[in-house]
């Protein structure tokens, strides 16, 4: 067994060797000190897309390159944008002078990339071929495809003949070809399946020649993610009006660059270190580089940790938060607006005393893993007790976990949650496929070790 080094996770997988880590030993420890938040993955997706659709070159400060952000950048390059990375920033030259008709867009495993760019490619390139990896081809897209089809876009699986299409219907799974430009109009779409559908339409509809409306057929979940989209659109001069049942989007608009921009810190990934402060030693953990006025919904982690009983100290001016443990007790958490937080909050619930109920969690079954099942499996594998419902999870906390062998299920948020759990286990945790963290936070284990965590590659 060799000790983990600063760039161990990234280098093992990313330097052409084809090798991937398979097992990591995580030992009980107490994190302490200060961690700087990585760039928000969600905001980076949005900023890259808007810059690529802009009217001039934009410099974006994005200090951390994850697999998902790289997927969006590469797809935008394939569409005709020029994106150069230099010293923690991206120089983005808009795609308009070099727009590629029918580009091949490999979204890898990034749902954001696929769902954002599906409407954009229809509006800008007149179509494209989309491919993906992992669970992405099986993740749902039907509501977005249906509403785009209603507005002139054709969808066809690349191997499907016209005769098969007439008898079997179109194939709506990846790989997928789209053709014909999208038309303006009224887009009736469900709001409770994926906010990414709404964001994708919001990026594309301003480019169409006429006015469009998005009419939500059900209440919108993860609404903060749409607020993040609206905030980024406004930064690029795009007007969108909220209505009683959705959004009004004037057509014929131009994305206008506001000049150099720094993408804010990521509350979703900061949540792992904030939770580590709640479950660990009295010294606590501080996370800096955060916007405490952010539209990111996962800033809700602060209120939830307080409800558990942790001590939360926020410095709005400095953009920093310190979390210290307290007398932790179970609570009830509605995760409909904050689905990405459930795995790490479920681990936190094991540190508390009494049951914690996570409700309105059904969409978590459609993530990189079935996160209700994989979170429950993680807790059970470490000696805890968790019970699944169709759209809920109940964790029965007793203040500690035993430890043992845990599966990340190839899911970055399960892998990082396991690392938080290891801090208060009685024995070591052997985690399979820790390299899953590359999807959103490639240097997670570097920062974890730097803060006092114990992680060794087996």
Judged against a pLDDT cut of 80, whether residue 351 lies above it is answered with: yes
Phi, psi angles (nearest 5°) of residue 449 = -70, -40
* Average pLDDT over every residue of 43-58: 97
Q: What average pLDDT does this structure show over 389-410?
A: 97
pLDDT digits (tens, 9 = 90+) for 166-183: 444 444 578 999 998 899
Could you tell me the residue ranges of all domains in the chain?
2-38+265-457, 41-262
pLDDT for the residue numbered 13: 38
Average of pLDDT values for 271-285?
A: 91
Q: Is the pLDDT of residue 426 over 50?
A: yes
- Average of pLDDT values for 205-218? 97
Map residue 127 onto helix, strand or coil.
strand
Cβ(116)–Cβ(199) below 8 Å: yes
Assign domain 41-262 to its CATH architecture.
Answer: Alpha-beta prism (3.65)
DSSP 8-state symbol, 325: -
Distance (Å, rounded) from C-alpha 133 to C-alpha 128? 17
Largest interatomic CA distance in the chain: 68
60 — phi, psi (to 5°)?
-115, 125
Residue 423 clears pLDDT 50, i.e. is over it: yes
Looking at residue 166, its pLDDT comes to 47
Q: Annotated catalytic, 411?
A: no
Alpha-carbon Rg of the chain, whole angstroms? 22
Tell which CATH architecture fits domain 2-38+265-457: Alpha-beta prism (3.65)
High-pLDDT (> 70) share of the chain, %: 92
Q: Residue 140: pLDDT band by 50, 70, 90 thresholds?
A: confident
Check whether 159 has a pLDDT greater than 80: no
According to DSSP, residue 356 is labeled E
Closest CA to 343 of 335, 332, 352, 355: 335
- CA–CA gap between residue 329 and residue 308 (Å, rounded): 5
The pLDDT, as a whole number, for residue 5 is 38
Half-sphere exposure of 379 (CA within 13 A, CB side): 29
DSSP string computed for 33-79: EEEEPPBPHHHHHHHHHHHHTSSS-EEEE-----HHHHHHHHHHHHH
Looking at residue 11, what is its pLDDT?
41
* Residue 423 CB neighbour total at 10 angstroms: 26
Question: Which tens digits make up the pLDDT trace of 76-126?
Answer: 999 999 999 887 789 999 999 999 999 999 999 999 999 999 999 999 998
Which residue blocks in 280-396 are alpha helix, DSSP H?
Answer: 301-308, 342-351, 371-381
Q: Which of 254, 180, 182 minimizes the C-alpha distance to 214? A: 182
Instruction: Give the residue-averaged pLDDT of 377-396.
Output: 98
Confidence grade of residue 290 (pLDDT, cut at 50, 70, 90): very high
Percent of the chain whose predicted confidence (pLDDT) is above 90: 83
Run of H or E including 277: helix 267-279
Q: How far apart are CA 378 and CA 358, in angstroms?
A: 16
Domains 2-38+265-457 and 41-262 fall in the same CATH topology:
yes
pLDDT at 221: 86
Strand 311-315 and strand 241-243: the pairing is unpaired
Which member of 298, 340, 411, 447 is catalytic?
340
Confidence of residue 127 (pLDDT cuts 50, 70, 90): confident
What integer pLDDT is reported at residue 230 of this predicted model? 98
pLDDT at 258: 86
Q: How far apart are CA 286 and CA 246, in angstroms?
A: 38
């Amino acid at each position: 067994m060799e000790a983990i080094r600063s760039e161990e996770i990234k280098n093992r997988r990313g330097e052409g060797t084809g090798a991937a880590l398979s097992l990591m030993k995580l030992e009980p420890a107490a994190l302490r000190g200060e961690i700087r938040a990585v760039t928000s993955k969600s905001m980076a997706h949005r900023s890259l897309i808007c810059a690529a659709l802009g009217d001039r070159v934009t410099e974006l400060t994005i200090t951390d390159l994850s697999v998902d952000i790289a997927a969006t950048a590469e797809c935008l390059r394939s569409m005709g944008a020029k994106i150069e990375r230099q010293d923690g920033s991206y120089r983005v030259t808009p795609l308009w002078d070099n727009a590629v008709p029918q580009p091949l867009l490999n979204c890898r495993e990034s749902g954001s990339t696929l769902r954002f760019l599906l409407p954009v490619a229809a509006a800008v390139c007149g179509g494209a071929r989309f491919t993906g990896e992992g669970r992405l081809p099986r993740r749902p897209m039907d509501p977005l495809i249906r509403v785009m089809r209603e507005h002139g876009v054709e969808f066809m699986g690349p191997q499907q003949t016209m005769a098969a299409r007439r008898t079997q219907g179109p194939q709506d799974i990846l790989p997928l070809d789209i053709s014909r430009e999208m038309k303006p109009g009224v887009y009736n779409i469900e709001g409770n399946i994926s906010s990414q559908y709404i964001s994708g339409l919001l990026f594309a509809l301003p480019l169409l020649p006429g006015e469009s409306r998005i009419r939500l057929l059900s209440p919108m979940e993860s609404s903060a993610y749409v607020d993040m989209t609206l905030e980024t659109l406004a930064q690029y001069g795009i007007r969108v009006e909220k209505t009683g049942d959705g959004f009004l989007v004037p057509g014929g608009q131009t994305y206008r660059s506001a000049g150099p921009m720094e993408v804010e810190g990521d509350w979703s990934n900061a949540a792992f270190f904030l939770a580590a402060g709640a479950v660990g030693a009295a010294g606590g953990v501080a996370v800096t580089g955060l916007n405490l006025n952010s539209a990111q919904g996962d800033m809700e982690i602060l209120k939830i940790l307080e409800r558990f009983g942790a001590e939360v100290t926020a410095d709005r001016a400095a953009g920093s938060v310190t979390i210290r443990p307290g007398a932790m007790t179970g609570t009830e958490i509605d995760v409909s607006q904050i689905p990405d937080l459930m795995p790490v909050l479920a681990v936190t619930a094991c540190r508390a005393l009494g049951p914690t109920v996570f409700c309105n969690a059904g969409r978590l079954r459609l993530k990189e893993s079935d996160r209700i099942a994989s979170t429950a499996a993680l807790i059970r594998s470490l000696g805890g007790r968790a019970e699944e419902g169709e759209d809920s999870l109940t964790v029965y906390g007793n203040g500690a976990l035993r430890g043992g062998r845990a599966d990340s299920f190839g899911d970055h948020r399960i892998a990082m949650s396991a690392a938080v759990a290891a801090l208060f286990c009685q024995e070591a945790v052997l985690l399979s496929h820790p390299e899953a963290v590359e999807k959103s936070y490639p240097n997670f284990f570097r920062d974890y070790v730097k803060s006092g965590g114990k992680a060794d590659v087996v």
